Amino acid sequence: MVKEIYIAGEWRLGRGGTIKSYFPADNSVNAEISTASLEDVNEAIEKAEQAWRDPSWRNRLPHERARILYKVADIIETRVDELSRLQTRDNGKPLTETRGLVMSAAATARYIAAACETFNDELTTQRASDFMTLSVHEPVGVVAAITPWNSPIASEVQKLAPALAAGNAVVLKPAEATSLIALELAKIFEEAGLPKGLLSVLVGRGSVIGDAIVKHPLVRKISFTGGTTTGRNLAHIAAEKLITTSLELGGKSPTIVFDDADIELAAKGVAYGIFSSAGQACIAGSRLFIQHKVYDRFLKRLNEITQNLRVGHPEKTGVHMGSLINQKHLESVDRYVNLALKEGGKILTGGKALTDGEYAKGSFYLPTIITGLNNSAQTCQEEIFGPVLVAMKFEDEEDLLKQANDSCYGLAAGIWTENFRRAWKISRALEVGTVWINTYKKFSISVPFGGFKESGIGREKGRLGILSYMQQKSIYMGLNEEPNAWAE
């Protein structure tokens, strides 16, 4: 049976034909899903506009909006096993990882609910006494949320929760590959009591349906997570419409091992930073810089750890890396490995797809370490979004910063050292939005996240993340009984 989509609070077949959702590990069909047409886009957005303007939503008190999000968090938590499995079926990540993402989505909903309840407008101070001023925050209206396939439930709640808490309506366009989990999320918001029309989940191709959503005149904000090329395209559209964007884009993050680092801790952390999610993470630590004195020793240990990683069926326990999202993506990863060889690189380990036995029907790739390249190589400058690490050497701090900052991206970085002064100095000098010191890929919803340079614009998360879905208004209230004096 073809799966229905969620158009302005109604479950029904979209008018845009159907797509199939595949389980990346064996290419079996999860479901056939109907997709939105351009008429569906118009309908969803027009009803979203009515829904956010409706006094029953506009005048709803913050704690009443928060109640919906608390309920969303509770439902997600009680259904964690089922939702993790569904997300694994959608994108091939191991169950342990998808479980983490599902729990993070619940935590986000709960945190934003609390932020919504405790959010204050400001009484701005005045020296003059014949008026008082307030700074208040209004919703922006209809928000277009567009998400990628790598961590869908987490990145979707990261947009839906603050946008709805702020009083907006949201039209979500998930990645085609991971539409199932987004549709399930719509059911959860509906069950939690979100009024009709405030959320639509429009399945369809980004270049057609995504494009139509963001270009619609009633859409007043674009919240996008995905690749830099798409993000740049959306920024052009937003500039034309004079609306704001939040762009969470790609990365090529440096991970740095100083000669005083705890080698065992660092080697395990570096392996986790690049190979978890099979490298399909915006923050993957894909450029490794090792200080020359420990280069051989560190690489030897990292290689041992990497060779012991288990690539396998994502529903099995003890698997470190599941399948890549699909064969097309695997071919793109493999092309980069071949490019690295042409550029003079050498494969220390990995460098090929797994194609026999249990791997035959999926898109599995070995964790790969490449040496012998300079940071200027194309392989070191472009995002591969797969399990490929390029290891390079550095002499001293100056040499390191020159190489690490030589990138169009600036999403994240990792530093491994026992010297806290050095860690502080280098973390301030790196041109990135997030730095991990002696750890990697740790997240907290209370900490803002976003990129420098071509890794994005704006910040998500944090108590004030909700502000990016609001517009500030200043109100002057006259206290004087005299008429305004003419300016002299």
Q: Which residues are catalytic?
A: 248
Phi then psi dihedrals of residue 72, to 5 deg? -55, -45
Nearby residues of 362 by Cβ (< 8 Å), 6 or more positions away: 24, 25, 26, 27, 92, 313, 323
Comparing every residue's Cβ against ligand NAP, the nearest one is: 206
Residue whose CB is less far from ligand NAP, 214 or 423: 214
**Nearest distance from residue 226's CB to ligand NAP, in Å?**
3
Q: Is 234 helix (H, G, I), strand (E, B) or coil?
A: helix
Write out the binding residues for ligand NAP, residues 252-311 only, by CB under 6 A.
282
Cα gap 127→125, rounded to integer Å: 7
**Nearest distance from residue 233's CB to ligand NAP, in Å?**
5
Write out the binding residues for ligand NAP, residues 380-439 only, by CB under 6 A.
383, 385, 411
**Token couple for 240:** 């034309």
Question: Is residue 205 a contact residue for ligand NAP (CB under 6 A)?
Answer: yes
Binding mask 449-478 for ligand NAP (x = CB under 6 A): --x----x----------------------
Residue 376: CB atoms within 10 A of its CB come to 10
**Nearest distance from residue 306's CB to ligand NAP, in Å?**
22
Query: At residue 180, what is the residue type?
Result: L
**What is the CA 11 to chain-centroid distance, rounded?**
27
Only one of the segments 150-158, 304-312, 315-323, 424-432 lies at the binding site for ligand NAP (rule: CB under 6 A); that segment is 150-158
Cα gap 440→447, rounded to integer Å: 14
Only one of the segments 59-67, 227-235, 360-368, 437-445 lies at the binding site for ligand NAP (rule: CB under 6 A); that segment is 227-235
Cα gap 394→392, rounded to integer Å: 7
- Applying CB under 6 A, among 71, 110, 159, 173 the residue interacting with ligand NAP is 173
**Nearest distance from residue 232's CB to ligand NAP, in Å?**
10
Residue whose CB is less far from ligand NAP, 225 or 255: 225
Only one of the segments 6-14, 51-59, 225-233, 333-341 lies at the binding site for ligand NAP (rule: CB under 6 A); that segment is 225-233
Residue whose CB is less far from ligand NAP, 173 or 393: 173
- The helix (H) or strand (E) run that includes residue 48 is helix 38-53
Only one of the segments 209-217, 270-278, 314-322, 470-478 lies at the binding site for ligand NAP (rule: CB under 6 A); that segment is 209-217
Strands 122-124, 388-394: parallel, antiparallel or unpaired by DSSP?
Answer: unpaired
Place of tokens 């797809």: 353
Residue whose CB is less far from ligand NAP, 97 or 176: 176
Residues forming beta bridges with residue 124, ordered by sequence position? 133
Residue whose CB is less far from ligand NAP, 230 or 468: 230
Question: Is residue 327 a contact residue for ligand NAP (CB under 6 A)?
Answer: no
Query: At residue 141, what is the residue type?
Result: G
Cβ atoms of 107 and 446 closer than 8 Å: no
Binding mask 231-250 for ligand NAP (x = CB under 6 A): --x--------------xxx
**Nearest distance from residue 63's CB to ligand NAP, in Å?**
30
Question: Is residue 41 a contact residue for ligand NAP (CB under 6 A)?
Answer: no
Nearby residues of 98 by Cβ (< 8 Å), 6 or more positions away: 83, 84, 85, 87, 88, 91, 153
Only one of the segments 122-130, 205-213, 293-301, 423-431 lies at the binding site for ligand NAP (rule: CB under 6 A); that segment is 205-213
- Applying CB under 6 A, among 16, 141, 152, 206 the residue interacting with ligand NAP is 206
Q: Can you give the length of the chain in residues?
A: 488
Nearby residues of 243 by Cβ (< 8 Å), 6 or more positions away: 140, 219, 220, 221, 222
Residue 85: exposure state from Cβ atoms within 10 A (0-12, 13-18, ≥19): middle
Residue 176 CA: distances (Å) to CA of 148, 183, 234, 354, 429? 9, 11, 18, 25, 38
Closest CA to 386 of 440, 329, 318: 329
- Applying CB under 6 A, among 207, 439, 474, 480 the residue interacting with ligand NAP is 207
Residue whose CB is less far from ligand NAP, 150 or 417: 150
Residue whose CB is less far from ligand NAP, 148 or 167: 148
Cα gap 200→160, rounded to integer Å: 11
Binding mask 153-172 for ligand NAP (x = CB under 6 A): --x-----------------
Residue whose CB is less far from ligand NAP, 27 or 471: 27
- Applying CB under 6 A, among 176, 184, 334, 454 the residue interacting with ligand NAP is 176
Question: Is residue 326 a contact residue for ligand NAP (CB under 6 A)?
Answer: no
Residue whose CB is less far from ligand NAP, 261 or 282: 282
Q: Is 456 helix (H, G, I), strand (E, B) or coil?
A: strand
**Token couple for 181:** 């989990």
Cα gap 126→478, rounded to integer Å: 12
Binding site for ligand NAP (CB under 6 A): 146-151, 155, 173-176, 205-207, 210-211, 214, 225-227, 230, 233, 248-251, 282, 383, 385, 411, 451, 456
